[in-house]
Amino acid sequence: EPEVTQTPSHQVTQMGQEVILRCVPISNHLYFYWYRQILGQKVEFLVSFYNNEISEKSEIFDDQFSVERPDGSNFTLKIRSTKLEDSAMYFCASSGDRGGTEAFFGQGTRLTVV
Amino acid sequence: GENVEQHPSTLSVQEGDSAVIKCTYSDSASNYFPWYKQELGKRPQLIIDIRSNVGEKKDQRIAVTLNKTAKHFSLHITETQPEDSAVYFCAASLFAGNQFYFGTGTSLTVIP
């Protein structure tokens, strides 16, 4: 069964450093998402991406965040200058269509900012 | 924007009993309601979903009900088994939108 894959599984970074989280969505999917989950809290939407541009973003997704689809397979989330409060599990997801269809989640990248 | 609330936050049941998790949503325009199961350290996985033109959907031991008027939907698990132990998240979204608004999660423990 096709899966969304994320790398790395765990990233530790110093406050103020830039990190790039990588995702390979399911190959025929068109819609891509990043969510985050702070330990013990709900899954929160960050951004959705379609047709090579951001289609929706939340208030969490401020200027320090950016997304990119640099080639036909990867989808990346960049955090420019990490803060302690960015520590969370980051999930990438993809779906074959707009809302009303299943979103498939990757296994997550646990980001720890120290 | 949409606000999804989920109750209870933790739930323990004896094996074989039923479990019910309830969610409410605020945006009457929401029309797609998936339920995700997240086992410890693993990704959320869809277990069942319902669209607003349907009041109930069942898949073996799992069922979901939707009350559009009251803006709430519930997950029902019957004949629970230890492998049902996980965190369950409800979510709401729009057909025309493409983000999911998640509930806060329910940690279900099935006691053998």
Say which range, A57-61, B1-5, B7-11, B82-86, has the weakest mean pLDDT.
B1-5
For testing contact with chain A, the best of B45, B51, B99, B101 (most A CBs within 10 A):
B99
Query: Are B32 and A55 inside 8 Å of each other by CB?
Result: no
Phi, psi of A55, rounded to the nearest 5 degrees: -100, -35
Q: What is the mean pLDDT of chain B?
A: 92
For residue B100, name the pLDDT band (cuts at 50, 70, 90): confident
Q: Closest Cα partner for A109 from A95, B2, A52, A82?
A: A82
For testing contact with chain B, the best of A4, A45, A48 (most B CBs within 10 A):
A45
Whether A7 contacts chain B with CB within 8 A: no
Q: Distance from first CA to last CA of chain A, Å, rounded?
A: 36
Cβ contacts of B48-51, under 8 Å, gap ≥ 24 = B48/B75, B49/A102, B51/A100, B51/B95
Q: What is the pLDDT of residue A102?
A: 80
CB-CB: which of B43, B46, B98 is closest to A99? B98
Query: Are B99 and A48 inside 8 Å of each other by CB?
Result: yes
Q: What is the pLDDT of residue A42?
A: 82
Q: Which residues contact B35 (CB under 8 A, 6 or more apart)?
A: B46, B47, B48, B49, B64, B75, B88, B89, B90, B91
Give percent of chain B with pLDDT exceeding 90: 75
Give percent of chain B with pLDDT exceeding 70: 96
> What is the residue-level pLDDT of chain A in tens, covering all 114 positions?
789 999 999 999 999 999 999 999 998 888 899 999 998 888 898 998 988 899 888 899 999 999 999 887 899 999 999 999 999 999 999 987 655 578 889 999 999 999
Strand intervals (E) in B1-112: 4-7, 10-14, 19-25, 32-38, 45-51, 56-59, 62-67, 72-77, 86-92, 101-102, 106-111
Q: What is the pLDDT of residue B80?
A: 98
Q: Rounded to whole angstroms, how far apart are CA atoms B21 and A25?
A: 30
Query: Are A31 and B98 inside 8 Å of each other by CB?
Result: yes
Span B41-85, pLDDT tens digits: 888 899 999 988 889 999 999 999 999 999 999 999 999 999 999
Query: What is the chain A residue with the closest CA to B96?
Result: A99
Could you count the other beta carbons within 10 Å of the beta carbon of residue A33?
28
Q: Is the peptide bond before A70 cis (omega within 30 degrees of 0)?
A: no
Q: What is the pLDDT of residue A100?
A: 57
3-state class (DSSP) for residue A35: strand
Q: Which residues of chain A lie closer than 8 angstroms to B98, CB-CB?
A: 31, 33, 48, 50, 55-56, 95, 98-99
**Tokens encoding B9:** 């936050």
